[in-house]
Structure 1
């Protein structure tokens, strides 16, 4: 992360990166030659792809954002992974077999021969146990992904049983195939950290088909083949993931031939479909992202619920989407996207809002002439919506100042662990990534998450009860009703105005690669294939 200082002239090469990560000496050499030479003695096929942000966390037990997981997917291994394609599903990865024995026991057997780099040996069930249990033991910010994990029983070198305190339905949709499902070396992490805690940006070893060759902060991360990998040969010899924050800039880079895979803006989709760049495939994917206006209810200016409701009712969502997405994005009814259990047919507040109601709430609060600050990520659609929101609130007499933030600054605004900025945060246009279970859309808004990812500081006992109970319910209809009520509670708090799930169109050069993505368009670089 950056703090205002430029990092564009910093390059952390493979040798320095390995030294920073506990000197994985044995992993630097392969067959007597430097790792880079060993790799480039092969085919030299390079995948060049855009990411909207730079990596800032490589410990899967403490992962922060989806763009970090995109890289983790390449350098570590999991029991199961998301299956590429248009339908949600999973398939085996490090596990040779896995089964749900009963609602609280999952037995797995590892594939033999998965090696950790740096001389840390073969992956065992003890590594699985360590990887999963450390998340709970060290109170990771994402421990909710593991829900009611009790412990992992080790039966032999390759076999173990995951034991839950109670049923946890999201385990197959979130926990195992996503961030917290990655397996690390117990020996390596204990040597690195001393207590098995967060190793941050200094992974002591790798277990996937790729290793980190070089990281240029704020520019790109370069992955190369892992010479100790014994699994299926990955398609590319080298993956360059370039940080290009703004999607419009990404489109320009693609057209200039600098990258071969990128997501595109909804506003550009029709143009690219009608006149695509040469040798380009355009794909449209439904998005699971949820984008919303959030308000910090603990800030003195927003403690009165009537002020928050005034803002909610002053926001005309279709106008925002027309401005930010050229009318290509649908209005969200809550945090849960269409097609998922728990999706609401409509929100409590109509999409267009009501300026008269907004003025009445503001008058009731005695807050005429109010000034507020709105933080927003430095991306064109979000900035455009912020500017339109500024105009909308001016109609009820609220002066909205827009503060545009780069990712390194934006993603720590509401975190108490990062200082006192959370105390000054007022309103924010937030965008969270999502996986195919409604639990992931609600669990970050519990009381326990206040000051972690719950930046609106919403806290409701009934919400927490529902969130805990819903993960044990298998009946889709009953489960949906619980998530409907949770989203009602969020909206009634005045802290949230649901905006959109956006969309996830992308394009890639068909003469260079065959892409592999989740149904929502999220890239699975490990499964990309060269043409």
Structure 2
């Protein structure tokens, strides 16, 4: 293991006291925190209670305010704003999909009466809808709303964040009668349930009349809660929907406060001012709460990979030797051991071992080897000079990483990586940028690099076509490889595990060889709930999905 220079040593030694430890990041990183897990093991499949469950004295408990905190601003409350974890948790209280992935990674019908029926050729899906559903403004829910939603997403004029997931896959959506939807695909698609599960249904009449921008501030959905008040930088307050088709929520209100600093979120939990932090706490706070019997702790292996997306069209970062050199230059095991205290694994490629069926451990590895990093840089013509930074044809080897504004923990890991890279002659500038802006800049190729924990293999499915394909809507690295595009298409067209496994294992090998982004670690996540929250399942496999069941949670009146 390398000897860190003084700056890096100070960063690591002071990480806990400065509260700059990395937390789990990205859409699947809700509540992730890195600590030594002890007797906590990865969650097993256990069903949660149904709504209306009775408490210790046999009486249903209703009323009160469920209070959550998260670190991100919430730009809007429409499905278009659900790309980041904190907005997602609020938005799934307001809207439903036809089906949904539950906390045990199984698809369940929601607005549909059953999972879709698929034709023998795998091209036609028929979905039967519930007849007892209304939107919160009183409009009836029908097949016209499903068709409208999918057509709106697929209309290029709307620039939907979900458009890439439909492009080249769905050819038509028909509503032959009020309770039937028929979706026709261009080719068989093994991830179809995931596609419609991620599609939250809009009220066609209200959305069309209101327009997307106004709708995002005052949305109407079929979900268990309705909007009371909304301040993007401060609080979302939702009221129980008394006409929700699955029953009125047990709590009266769902409150989500924006609290950027992890230590403040921990204090809110311990002071009884919050019931849960959606986003990670620091390791020291997480360790303390895990040992405290007043909190319930969930431990899950994240689907996300902590990584630095790199603009592969950047004049410096387009060189695969530079990207490989950076992988060799970063002591990722040190980051796992010293920052995550062992509660993580060095990442091997794009897919987490949480997606066990498709995970490939036999890929190109990058052990910490600064000499190999230097050799690769010199092979590409980057030579050492009088200063710390290498040059080539008069150009310095430097680029900028955009990190989320106000996120001290991610800045901490970026600063450690910055030191590792400078040791081999690569200068990195760090700039803080609002998350929403980073999500716009990276796909547009207008940023050099970022720091994410974006998910590849969400919900246990290995499909990453929106992230790794050339035209993917979430291709943060502007990565393009015709073979990967071909494999991604084959992967979603194949309908059996036996066909899909070698496809996704080859993708992992290619990604590890070409390094379109710097993958750092697979994180173990911890999420804490106050014991005031009742009706939580004993264990879960997917924390993000658990929040869809908030309408079934009650509050202990004695606390």
Task: Place the TM-score, normalised by the shorter chain, in its bin.
Answer: 0.7 to 0.9
In the TM superposition, 1:357-368 aligns within 5 A as 357-368=372-383
Distance 1:233 1:227 in 2: 5
Q: State the TM-score, normalizing by the size of structure 1.
A: 0.81
Instruction: Rate the CA distance shift 1:530–1:62 in 2: closer, same or farther, 3 A.
Output: closer
**Could you tell me whether the CA contact under 8 Å between 1:283 and 1:506 is conserved in 2?**
yes
How many Å apart are 1:169 and its aligned residue?
0.9
Q: Secondary structure at the match of 2:90?
A: helix
Instruction: Rate the CA distance shift 1:411–1:62 in 2: closer, same or farther, 3 A.
Output: closer
In the TM superposition, 1:252-401 aligns within 5 A as 252-262=267-277, 263-265=279-281, 267-268=283-284, 271-272=287-288, 275-276=291-292, 279-340=294-355, 341-350=357-366, 352-368=367-383, 369=389, 370-377=397-404, 378-401=406-429
For the aligned residue pairs, the C-alpha RMSD in angstroms reads 2.6
In the TM superposition, 1:141-152 aligns within 5 A as 141-146=161-166, 148-152=169-173
How many Å apart are 1:501 and its aligned residue?
2.6
The aligned counterpart of 1:404 is 432
Please say if 1:175 is aligned against 2:192: no
How many Å apart are 1:406 and its aligned residue?
4.0
**Could you tell me whether the CA contact under 8 Å between 1:212 and 1:222 is conserved in 2?**
yes
Instruction: Rate the CA distance shift 1:272–1:527 in 2: closer, same or farther, 3 A.
Output: same
In the TM superposition, 1:178-257 aligns within 5 A as 178=198, 180=199, 182-193=200-211, 201-257=216-272
How many Å apart are 1:505 and its aligned residue?
0.6
How many Å apart are 1:222 and its aligned residue?
0.8
In the TM superposition, 1:345-494 aligns within 5 A as 345-350=361-366, 352-368=367-383, 369=389, 370-377=397-404, 378-416=406-444, 422-423=445-446, 425-433=447-455, 435-449=458-472, 452-494=473-515
**Could you tell me whether the CA contact under 8 Å between 1:73 and 1:526 is conserved in 2?**
no
In the TM superposition, 1:80-95 aligns within 5 A as 80-84=99-103, 87-95=104-112
**Could you tell me whether the CA contact under 8 Å between 2:443 and 2:477 is conserved in 1?**
no
**Could you tell me whether the CA contact under 8 Å between 1:375 and 1:403 is conserved in 2?**
yes
Please say if 1:77 is aligned against 2:96: yes
The aligned counterpart of 1:112 is 131
Matched pairs, number: 471
Q: Secondary structure at the match of 2:403?
A: strand
**Could you tell me whether the CA contact under 8 Å between 1:59 and 1:199 is conserved in 2?**
no
The aligned counterpart of 2:71 is 52
Distance 2:407 2:534 in 1: 27
Q: For each residue in 1:171-224, what CA deviation from the matched residue of structure 2 results, as whole angstroms up to 9, or x when unmatched?
A: 22x22222x2x111211122123xxx6766235522222111111121111111
Q: Secondary structure at the match of 1:183?
A: coil
In the TM superposition, 1:503-522 aligns within 5 A as 503-515=524-536, 519-522=541-544
Higher relative contact order (CA 8 A, sep 6+): 2
**Could you tell me whether the CA contact under 8 Å between 1:100 and 1:106 is conserved in 2?**
yes
**Could you tell me whether the CA contact under 8 Å between 1:272 and 1:282 is conserved in 2?**
no
The aligned counterpart of 1:526 is 551
In the TM superposition, 1:29-48 aligns within 5 A as 44-48=63-67
Q: Secondary structure at the match of 2:89?
A: helix
In the TM superposition, 1:113-132 aligns within 5 A as 113-119=132-138, 121-132=139-150
Instruction: Rate the CA distance shift 1:65–1:465 in 2: closer, same or farther, 3 A.
Output: same
Q: Secondary structure at the match of 1:133?
A: helix
**Could you tell me whether the CA contact under 8 Å between 1:62 and 1:142 is conserved in 2?**
no
Distance 2:88 2:429 in 1: 33
Instruction: Rate the CA distance shift 1:518–1:191 in 2: closer, same or farther, 3 A.
Output: farther
**Could you tell me whether the CA contact under 8 Å between 1:266 and 1:326 is conserved in 2?**
no
Q: Secondary structure at the match of 2:487?
A: helix
Structure 2 gaps of 5+ residues are 1-60, 384-388, 390-396
**Bigger shift: 109-118 or 499-508?**
109-118
**Could you tell me whether the CA contact under 8 Å between 2:144 and 2:178 is conserved in 1?**
yes
Instruction: Rate the CA distance shift 1:409–1:257 in 2: closer, same or farther, 3 A.
Output: farther
Distance 1:526 1:334 in 2: 37
Instruction: Rate the CA distance shift 1:76–1:141 in 2: closer, same or farther, 3 A.
Output: closer
How many Å apart are 1:292 and its aligned residue?
1.0
